[in-house]
Amino acid sequence: MSLLHAARRLSELRGLRGLRGLRGLRPGELAKLRPKSAARLVNGLRGRLIVTFTLVAVASAALVATIGYQLVKQNLIERTERAAVSDVRHTLEQISLPIGALWPGELPPSAEEINELREQLGGPDREVIVQYGDTTYVGDTIRLPDVPNELRGQAIRRMAMQREYIDGRMWLIIGTQVQRTMRDGSVQPTGMSVFVFVSLTEEERLLDDLRSALAQAGAITLLIALSVALFSARRVLLPVRRLLGAARALGAGKLDTRLPVHGQDELAQLTATFNETASALEETVADLRNLEAISRRFVADVSHELRTPLTAMTAVTDMLLDEAERLPPEPAEAVRIVVREVRRLRVLVEDLIEASRLDAGTATLNLEPVNVADTVLDSLEVRGWEDKVRINISEGLSFSLDPRRFDVIVANLVGNALKHGGPPVVLTARGTANGLEVKVRDHGKGIPPAALPHVFDRFFKAGKDRTRSQGSGLGLSIARANAKLHGGTISVRPQNPGTLFTVWLPHP
């Protein structure tokens, strides 16, 4: 019997019941087993690869664009500054006005001459301020206060320049003091200060256009990077998705699932390892199935072989029981023990035969409409339990079921309640929209909470006081198997006091 128990345990392994009619899984079938949740893919390895690849591409593009923009900006501004400074210096070197220390016969420059100098230094997008003596000659929009104080100080000693925003426009300010070469060859300051304002509006426009072009290029780069990332992630993760689909198929019982091995990289090695593991698992499960079939056949054969001698032994022990009253006390007690154990062995053999039929899938279901109340009452009367059970069933309740298997369910549940529970034992049945519901409750001390998950296991007995009971330990397991044969279930719940078993059978 322990061999049957072990085989039964092995048969409940996940996927073992679905191993009949196995077929190989082709790549097209693998695609059907991919996860249905898009969010799971986005948040998984594929999403991380796409995000990482895109971030690296965008960061690289942004870095290149920033460096390029700064280089262009620096070169453009520096070229404009050099050109402006060169032009101002060349113009001042050509000056011929009698300024500074006048030579004999020279007259101070007039306002027209200084304005003419301003015109020479000026030009398109330029403004010129000339300060000579106590007079300041300004342009149309620029005034002397627009010249930074720091630049004024530097312009006294040398030609200086500075960029400054004035009224929202960028200007390059070039400031210097005009000097004159005397007749003796010395260079003397003249007291004339010149400030040339060169507009950088055109350069700013060019830089704005460059920024817009770089932004558009960045957007295009982002789209290209995202497309490449999606394509690359798909190509890289294709073997992983196939492995995932194959693993799901393997878990669903398709143990002949194999994958093609391409290349010699790590994923190819992983695929080869998966194939080897699947092959080993298929062989192991095949061995377990053979072991289960052998053990089931062994138990069935033994049970059938025991039935004939048990029938003879039962007849003999019944005769001995009739004579036990006339025997001395000790032989009479021995006869009663033998009779009790023979009966217990007969019940165990019958339960084993029934269990082997259920395991082998040869058990059949013969449905017919019956009166539930009459069927339950007949089951109790046959066993002499009609006075020990309180029945609460409507007289007109009719349902289509297998009477013999329903009798097994009722007998096992009620017998379990009478043997191990406490009175009163109540049996209730009612029809619902979904099927038939039967409840059996006792009012005893109940089943220990730790034993509740195992009450339907074969050969399980809750508590030490039940280890030598007359039951075989198969009754509840057989009852549940008969309920499943109807497409129903049996559940158990603790009550205060007692235990409640609920049987649900669906409409056929």
* pLDDT tens profile 86-102: 888 888 877 777 776 66
CB 269 within 8 A of CB 253: no
> What is the pLDDT, as a whole number, of residue 283?
87
Distances (CA, A) of 195 to 112, 117, 171, 177, 304: 18, 12, 12, 9, 122
User: Amino acid identity of 313?
Assistant: M
3-state secondary structure labels for all residues of 233-284: HHHHHHHHHHHHHHHHHHHCCCCCCCCCCCCCCHHHHHHHHHHHHHHHHHHH
DSSP letter for 101, please. Answer: S
Which residues, 6 or more positions from 388, have their beta carbon under 8 angstroms from its beta carbon?
Answer: 418, 423, 425
CA nearest to 499, candidates 433, 434, 419, 393: 419
Residue the block writes with tokens 């349902």:
399
- State residue 323 phi and psi, 5-degree precision: -90, -5
Measured over all CA atoms, what is the biggest interatomic distance in the chain, rounded to whole angstroms?
A: 174
Peptide bond into 497 cis (omega under 30): yes
Closest among 171, 149, 155 to 92, alpha carbons compared? 155
Q: Considering only CA atoms, which of 194, 179, 185 is closest in space to residue 101?
A: 179
- 101 Rama class: left (phi>0) / alpha (psi -120 to 50) / beta: beta
DSSP H/E element including 169: strand 169-181
C-alpha closest to that of 24 among 275, 287, 286, 285: 275
Residues (pLDDT < 70) of the chain are 1-45, 100-107, 183-186, 296, 299-300, 303-304, 307, 359-362, 462-472
Left, alpha or beta for 290 (phi > 0: left; psi -120 to 50: alpha)? alpha
Q: What is the pLDDT of residue 467?
A: 47
List the end-to-end C-alpha distance of the chain, in Å, as a whole number.
34
Q: Are 134 and 127 in contact (CB under 8 A)?
A: no
Other beta carbons within 10 Å of 220? 11
**Residues 204-249: tens digit of each pLDDT:** 888 888 888 888 888 888 888 888 878 877 777 777 888 888 888 8
The angle at the Cα of 49, spanning 44 to 51, to the nearest 5 degrees, equals: 95
Question: Please, which residues bridge with residue 193 across strands?
Answer: 131, 177
Question: Quick one: how far is CA 244 from the chain centroid?
Answer: 13
pLDDT (0 to 100) of residue 168: 83
Closest CA to 442 of 470, 427, 422: 422
